Chains A and B, each alone.
Chain A
């Protein structure tokens, strides 16, 4: 199969996804628009104020906010990439034979070492 054929096949296979995306977006936008046309609009300052259980908010909510899971988020990025490496290996597992198997066990071993290290260092502790 030549390069252009491959490209064409990919295009035909992925083209429906593009159409689907457009249709889904269109569905969303059109429904919003139609709803916008028929709905009542009576804005008033109380109604438009931010909900905070009926009390005056103390401050704007866009403020520096300590997220406690920052380290976990970084670990997630790293581990998620490692998981992606597992995918091609898993698919070609049957062709790779013993070498692939051992290589991947080493890879998973490294993964586990990193994981255990993170655990022992307390990076997985939430606070």
Chain B
């Protein structure tokens, strides 16, 4: 009986998270175009529905009903599987993200945490591991298309992965030093009390602001967003790794990219900005309302990061391949290493 209840609860939780993520992606496609539009003195989509709000629906329907072309020279199996290989890691990363307070409720005799699908003790590693699997989808998609533009895009993606994966890993070590845990739930709980406890500020020990900057730059690179959108650089490689993709498979790459964006925003929120905690205690409201204010603050912070993604896209030109690698290896890596050393020294002196 317990197993059935547990399974039912988990399934509904996963369903809710997946729906929430997919809806957010839909919203983001609209928001991105609107935000970019406003920054560029234009309106963005205006035709579908009032102020273009139904644009994502129209886009989704179009892609769903569109002919899905597999080029004749492509490796059909790889070509079909690559988008899914890209999409799955982007979705399942959300399994360890705490969206709200660390509550445990008793449902029919089963301990149940409503705001996190599963609180595993290697959460950070889990996310890092799956984030890099997503890049395989891109590399395979680029290779299997049998188009030179796709191939170049795929290879660039590999170059990007090896340049920035390391920095993501290193930038997190500082947070781990302070929190002594790999579980995202524990890390969030450790930042309770007020914004000065968030690891970005980390009152009383070494602030992780530098680590945060390294993390966010590397994350932009890992999600293939401007100025690091080399694998799909539209002015150079036409559409890069998804040049040959159309219809639903194209949509999956799109979903994966935006899913990853949301995921890294969630991770940044949890690791550096206190997750669901309000900046000051008073804004958190009474204990019984923590689920509401917690969700609000979490969403608020995540959208802040997403806005940052759009903002960067509107502002910066694209880096070049060699510049990107040089920046990752010769600038970010030493900074991240220095941050670890400084943090550990501080943590040792002021335990």
Contact = CB atoms under 8 A, between A and B. Distances in A.
A61 B18 CA distance: 37
Contacts of A28: 83-84, 87-88, 252
B225 interface: no
Interface in A79-124: 79-80, 83-84, 86-87, 90-94, 98, 101, 104-105, 108, 111-112, 115, 119, 124
Interface of B: 6-7, 10-11, 13-15, 18, 64-73, 80, 83-84, 87-88, 91-92, 95, 117-121, 124-126, 143, 145-151, 155, 158-159, 162-163, 165-166, 169-170, 173, 176-177, 180-182, 238, 243-244, 247-249, 252, 321-322, 325-326, 329-330, 333-334, 337, 340-341, 344, 347-348, 351
Contacts of B248: 31-32, 35-36, 39
Contacts, number: 196
Q: Chain B interface secondary structure, helix, strand, loop or mixed?
A: helix
A25 B88 contact: yes
A36 B67 CA distance: 8
Chain A interface category by residue count: 35 or more
A26 to B, nearest CB: 10
Interface in A1-39: 12-17, 19-21, 23-25, 27-29, 31-32, 34-36, 38-39
Given A28-B84, A50-B147, A52-B148, A127 B322 contact: yes
Contact of B6 (A12, A38, A47, A87): A12
Contacts of B146: 50, 60-62
B263 to A, nearest CB: 13
23 contacts: A16-B10, A16-B95, A17-B126, A23-B11, A24-B91, A28-B83, A28-B84, A32-B252, A39-B68, A39-B247, A50-B146, A51-B238, A52-B149, A60-B73, A65-B155, A73-B162, A87-B125, A93-B347, A101-B344, A108-B337, A126-B322, A126-B325, A126-B326
B161 to A, nearest CB: 8
A24 B65 contact: no
Contact of B65 (A39, A86, A94): A39
Contacts of B6: 12
Given A28-B87, A61-B146, A72-B329, A87 B170 contact: no
A31 B321 CA distance: 35
Given A39-B247, A42-B67, A67-B155, A17 B351 contact: no
